[in-house]
Chains A and B, each alone.
Chain A
Amino acid sequence: MLETFGHLPIAWLLFAVLAAAGFVSFFAGRTEAVAVGRGSSERLNSQPNYHGYFVAMATIGPAAIVLGLYALFGETLVRGELAGELPQRIRDLGSLELNQYIDRIAEQSAMRDAGPTGNALFDAATARYTSLLGISRIIAVFLALLAAWAGFFVAKRKLSVNFRARANVENGIKLLLFMCAAIAVFTTIGIVLSLFFEALRFFSRVPFFSFIFGLEWNAQTGADFGAIPLFFGTFMIAFLAMLVAAPIGLLSAIYLSEYASPRFRSIVKPILELLAGIPTVVYGFFALQFVAPLVRSTANWVNGLAFVPDGFLAAQPTSALAAGIVMGIMIIPFVSSLSDDVINAVPQTLRDGAYAMGATKSETVKQVVMPAALPGVIAALLLAVSRAIGETMIVVMAAGQRAQITPDPTADLTTITVQIVALLTGDTEFDSAKTLSAFALGFVLFIVTLIFNLIALRVVQKYREKYE
């Protein structure tokens, strides 16, 4: 019986029950309010519907909170209980192994028609786990229904002619919105914190400064963890990308917002934004298949020139330049659509002022519109840079794996993101310096892009203040 509860897709049932409870309580509240209104000489403070919403909220809200808490902590409690009941022999394995053992039990339990494995201890533990889960679910459902029941009656007793149901509903909605915002914020904080603590674990094995300032990166062998070559590769490719994206994006934004006819603009702008919808893996493919060979053959041609020393350019099959160019193309719509927005935000009166002084269109753009839009454009470029730094797929496919520091753009470089992927794919144990270094890299990457974004946001804010 308990095992059945451990298996039921109970979440859906609960949703249905709660929705039904919501409906019923809404109509109950509404009816009650109408009756109260009839029985009184005064006018109802709030419309009957609001009384209905209020009761429904009071019914569903507490139940939802109970279930939410269960969803967050229920399994942890069950696992803790199970761990306590396991024989000493297994508990002595250490927290990591123990956790993995329970993971396997949970997995086994989730597979409904999995037969016994033959390992008596394991099978018994699995059965125990399933029934513990069943008990916890029954308790949670019971508590949720109790909360709904209590909420319903408390709310219903509150209804009166003077009850300010409308204001209370308003507060309820505010609370709901706040909780959604809070979830987003806490998730972010949670991710950052876990990244941070994993990074700390790494730094307990590899000194922080030898990581940040080290010039050698050989993480696969677990020998060297100097991140400078990765930073170099990352920034080199981002720089090459910006070399492509900044001028093209910016100038096309100027053309679109200042010169193009509305008709042309209405056709071209969506097409440009379509570029942003292309999956990055397609860009990566494009880089690997077309651009990298092109870069290589061009580099070979340069090497073949009479006055160029032999082997002047590395001319590798994958190269920083190929990845940079394609990443630049990918970022163009990002730059152009953000810049287009800030250029359009420059008040028309400023342009009129310049025209009225006898300035030509390009003078107006260069001397009045662009200076006015500059902070916003800078912000757009910074956001684009942080995008380029965090971009993964293109570099994984087209930049290479070799951690080296060279100014030659036709050499293969590697980036932080590429290394993270390389470190975490395949068979990994989550406890070695090699794997943990991925978290350290991720954390540093996060800090860098955060700084870029913060500066950009700050600049945009300042710019807004000026024109509003």
Chain B
Amino acid sequence: MDGNVEDFTETDKSERAANMAEMIKVDCRNIDVFYDDKQAIFDISLAIQDRAVTSFIGPSGCGKSTFLRCMNRMNDTIESAKVTGKIFMDGADINDHSIDPVLLRSRVGMVFQKPNPFPKSIYDNIAYGPRIHGLAGSKSELDEIVESSLRKAGLWDEVKDRLPAPGTGLSGGQQQRLCIARAIAVSPEVILMDEPCSALDPIATARIEELIDELRERYCIVIVTHSMQQAARVSQRTAFFHLGKLVEYGDTERIFTNPEDTRTQDYITGRFG
């Protein structure tokens, strides 16, 4: 399967060397996305490393969310959206007929811009995924999953005494961590985060960023953000999008200190966007 990936690689030599050195988790090739007749993504190819944080930056409306949603086939739920191109996860084509999008989404978790806890108890929010995917054989196993997910999300100590309370009763920051815990509970391999901190105050944001940094050891994380500082702080790789095209992609440090493209330069120094 890895040989297959090699055949398709169109990246330049240095990128390829990097690919070999770092493990590639998701490999997107020539992705186009259309909403009805309007094209939102233009031929984007991009490989995402495992056990690292990749951030997507770019001005509003440039297609970051759209591209992110390709990776767990959430665009399938939008009537008008059409995706072409290939996306390989661990070498397997996720758009292949044999892949069930529902199962794919249990491997690729997602956290949204606005915290969206289900109208259920804190416990049931976390237990939701394991239940529908039959991950826990017994009540005690489920309890364990709930506790460990909440611990990983750094929320356990705050909610352990009120697990039966509704998830919607938590603060915004807590709700977002609840959503992260919910995503972790099904042990995904990839976690996609679409502006996870944009509705949060600086303290809650710092808390989530810390969490992302911890999660990096176990997961492949992609985060969309409008904050340059956040991208610089949490991510190892950064992709800059502009008008539906991928302008520049590389190590975060290099992108922020020495961008190759003037558009990237302009955006990160705040000259447009």
Contacts and interface: CB of A to CB of B under 8 A. Distances in A.
B77 A358 contact: no
Given A261-B79, A349-B112, A367-B128, A355 B105 contact: yes
B129 interface: yes
Interface string B193-206: 00000000000000
Interface in B167-182: 168, 179, 182
A367 B104 CA distance: 20
Contact of B114 (A349, A363, A368): A349
A106 interface: no
Contact of A359 (B79, B132, B168): B132
B161 to A, nearest CB: 23
For B104, B106, B119, B179, the residue with the greatest tally of chain A CB atoms inside 10 Å of its CB is: B119
B132 A358 contact: yes
A347 B77 contact: no
A107 interface: no
Interface residues of A, number: 21
Given A357-B186, A368-B118, A363 B132 contact: yes
Interface string A145-166: 0000000000000000000000
Contacts of B233: none
B70 interface: no
> Contact size class for B?
20 to 34
A356 B79 contact: no
A372 interface: yes
Contacts of B119: 350, 368, 371-372, 466
B102 interface: yes
A354 interface: yes
B197 to A, nearest CB: 16
A351 B78 CA distance: 12
B17 interface: no
Interface string B14-52: 000000000000000000000000000000000000000
Nearest to B72: A356
A358 B105 contact: yes
B74 A353 contact: no
A357 B112 contact: no
A371 B121 CA distance: 12
B122 interface: no
Contacts of B132: 357-359, 363, 367
Interface string B86-125: 0000000000000000111110011010101111100000
A340 B123 CA distance: 29
B162 interface: no
A350 B128 CA distance: 13
B106 A358 contact: yes
B183 interface: yes
A352 interface: yes
Contacts of B79: 261-262
Given A357-B128, A371-B120, A352 B74 contact: yes
A360 interface: yes
A124 B179 CA distance: 87
B218 interface: no
Interface of A: 261-262, 347, 349-360, 363, 367-368, 371-372, 466
10 contacts: A261-B79, A349-B112, A349-B116, A353-B118, A355-B74, A357-B128, A357-B132, A367-B118, A368-B118, A371-B118
Given A353-B117, A353-B179, 14 more contacts: A261-B79, A350-B116, A350-B119, A352-B77, A353-B112, A354-B118, A355-B74, A357-B183, A358-B133, A358-B186, A359-B128, A363-B132, A368-B119, A466-B168
Interface of B: 72, 74, 77, 79, 102-106, 109-110, 112, 114, 116-120, 128-129, 132-133, 168, 179, 182-183, 186
